Structure 1
Amino acid sequence: MATAQSFRSGGHGSLARVGVAVSHGFTGSPVSMRPWSEFLADAGFAVNMPLLAGHGTTWQDLSRTPWEHWYRDFEAAYLELSSRCDTVFVAGLSMGGALALRVAAKHAVAGIALVNPGLTFSDRRARYSGLLKHVLKSVSAIGDDIKAPGITEGAYSRTPVAAVHELSKLFTDTIPLLPRVTAPALVFRSTVDHVVPESSMDALRAGLGSQEFTVVSLSNSYHVATLDNDAQQIFSQSSDFFRRHAGAI
């Protein structure tokens, strides 16, 4: 997809050596995170937002992609920033939140900013995806859960069942790692989210090892809040959070 391009920017000014690795969500693309990434880059942060494997092309490609490749791509973005920055944060939307938490469990990140992070499913059929993938190739799309009219995140028109099974494995493998996440965490949670259930937040609260864990409620956005009515609140509050924990305020 022409619009589904990764984004990378060098830092400048007092934030030149402060990096933020940013991840989009499942079946989505960097379109959903580009305004946030550009905001941070304009503020001076070094930013690296990859296009995750299997995304930005066709849902059939995603159906053939193991979850380890999604994580590989995001971890590589984090490590690239670590090679040129003194301080690095991670940020993610939905599945990107799970990837960010996984990186934070394995590396010394400075902090985590998440938007409607996914760790569980709202659709009960997901638990049977390992069997269903053999008889059902795809189901209805989950993209564009956005309250503001006329906005799209560039997600796939179908959701591949085989990829849902991979996502399930990612969630199952990541939840036990949450106690190892001790970095400060800032989580933005929409009061209405038609994609990620509240049980994801319950799992996060129950397992996260961070002593600083702040949840900000978004009352005027749906799941893809980074493109919705509360986007500017996410951008400004996360920027302040990164500055504070980088010692740049």
Structure 2
Amino acid sequence: MVGCLCLHGFTGGPFEVQPVADYLRARTDWEIAVPTYPGHGELLHLRGVKQARWVEEAERAFLALRQKHDTLYVVGFSMGGMIAAYLAAKYQCQKVVLLSASAFYLNPIHLQDELSAWLRMKQSHAPHDEWMYKQYWHRVTKTPVSALFQFRKLVKALKPSFSQITAQTLIVQGKKDGLVPLKSAHYIYETIPSDQKKLLYLKDSRHMICHDVNSEELLTEVYTFLQER
């Protein structure tokens, strides 16, 4: 049986990758694990939490799956993509999926642009867009500077992992991502030595790729990639 770990991003929670987890659960008999890092989730309590604890929680969940399953997949979104790369390099899992992986730092100016875009959508009164805007706004107002420092420290520490990945890899990023620059996906693709890798750009998606307009395409691509022999 397959064990699949889905990892959320910085200041986020399982909801960020829930569409992927739900899609896979509905179509497979795999065990899907979606851990929450310390200080993360619906209520953020990031002050004083070290980045090593985020990595440790993801690693704990991965090792729990490894005790039960021979085939292991890791799906990581944003900062979760960095942790997924670390786990794939260290433990040699079979497949890894990197969604909007933050190999380069999030830019506060880009964040403002991203929020402005979601605000315009919020004003359209679409329930999903309004929910997404609230998620972003909650993060902006509840994230201490110390947590941003820990995020940058994590990225710097785990970035070398890409050059050690031998697993089959799918890299996906939205072309309208206002948080992680497009060069991040290109850098990851060029750095991973595996010859079994694919880079996909979703033309209308922003950073929250699992919840955006190309989400159905994304879910199909991830499922197909993980099912392939």
TM-score, scaled to structure 2: 0.84
**Unmatched 5+ residue regions in structure 1?**
1-16, 126-138
Do the aligned residues in 1 keep the contact of 2:10 with 2:79 (CA within 8 Å)?
yes
Structure 1 contact 145–195 (Cα < 8 Å) conserved: no
Q: Which amino acid aligns with 1:165?
A: F
How many positions carry a matched residue from both structures?
215
1:157-184 alpha-carbon deviations (Å, 9 max, x no partner)? 4332111111111111112222111111
Q: CA deviation at 1:226?
A: 0.2
What is the identity percentage for the equivalent residue pairs of Structure 1 and Structure 2?
Answer: 25
Where does 1:30-179 land on structure 2 (aligned, <5 Å)? 30-44=14-28, 45-56=30-41, 58-59=43-44, 61-123=45-107, 149-152=129-132, 154=135, 156=139, 157-179=141-163
Write the letter of the residue equivalent to 2:57. Answer: D
User: What is the TM-score when the length of structure 1 is the normalising length?
Assistant: 0.78
Once the two structures are superposed, what CA deviation does each residue of 1:48-97 show, in whole Å capped at 9, x if it has no partner?
A: 000111102544x2121111111111111111111122201000110010
| Distance in 2, Cα, partners of 1:203 & 1:68 | 24
Is the deviation greater in 201-210 or in 19-28?
A: 201-210
* Aligned-residue offset at 1:192: 0.7
Partner Cα distance (2:174, 2:32) in 1: 25
Q: Which runs of 5+ in 2 are unaligned?
A: 122-127
Question: In the alignment, which of 164, 184, 188 is matched to residue 172 of structure 2?
Answer: 188
Match of 1:241 in 2: 225
Within 2, Cα distance between the matches of 1:210 and 1:151?
A: 38
Give distance in 1, aligned partners of 2:116 and 2:35: 20
Larger relative helix fraction? 2
Given that 1:21 and 1:48 are in contact with CA atoms closer than 8 Å, whether structure 2 keeps it comes out as yes
Q: Is the alpha carbon distance of 1:102 and 1:214 closer, same or farther for their aligned partners in structure 2, counting shifts above 3 Å?
A: same
